[in-house]
Amino acid sequence: NISAWNFPYFVGSNVWAPALLTGSAVLYKPSEWTALTGLKVAEMFVESGVPSDVFAPVVGGGDVGAQLLSEDINGLFFTGSLATGQKLAAVTAPRMIRTQLELGGKDPHYVCDDVADVKAAAAGLCDGAMFNAGQSCCSVERIYVHESIA
């Protein structure tokens, strides 16, 4: 799992928690800007009795992430930029490695004509767009409003 910087624990745990629960070992590369998150999670697992080779953090920049792809891995789960996702897919596709890419998006929000409270909807849209200073892969980026409201 190569994880994002903006929600390093949450985004990573969406991948490694199910993997661990189903008996898989995990190589976890947090963003180089949040390396301590991965190290701390590994430390907590070991303290709770999980063998140290079951959840292994790997820290470093993009060169380290690229090096991981030379290993005998069964899956790659990446959250980050489109450019990096394209590079990863180009390496994993010929090897038929299961790959899941979450590359952000242009997350739309729809305000339907039956909205009960337009002001509350507007406040929710602002919160959705600006949550975490807008640095969220699921922040509201496009808004569509029914013409009867606009």
d(Cα 150, Cα 148) in Å, to the nearest integer?
6
d(Cα 49, Cα 99) in Å, to the nearest integer?
30
Cα–Cα nearest to 31, from 2, 57, 52, 68: 2
- Which one from 14, 137, 141, 147 is the annotated catalytic residue? 137
* 1 noted as active-site residue: no
- 145: which strand partners? 111
* 141 noted as active-site residue: no
* 102 noted as active-site residue: yes
- What are the two backbone dihedrals, phi and then psi, of residue 139, each rounded to the nearest 5 degrees? -70, 150
d(Cα 121, Cα 48) in Å, to the nearest integer?
44
- Which one from 1, 6, 43, 74 is the annotated catalytic residue? 6
- Which one from 74, 102, 112, 132 is the annotated catalytic residue? 102
Catalytic residues: 6, 102, 137
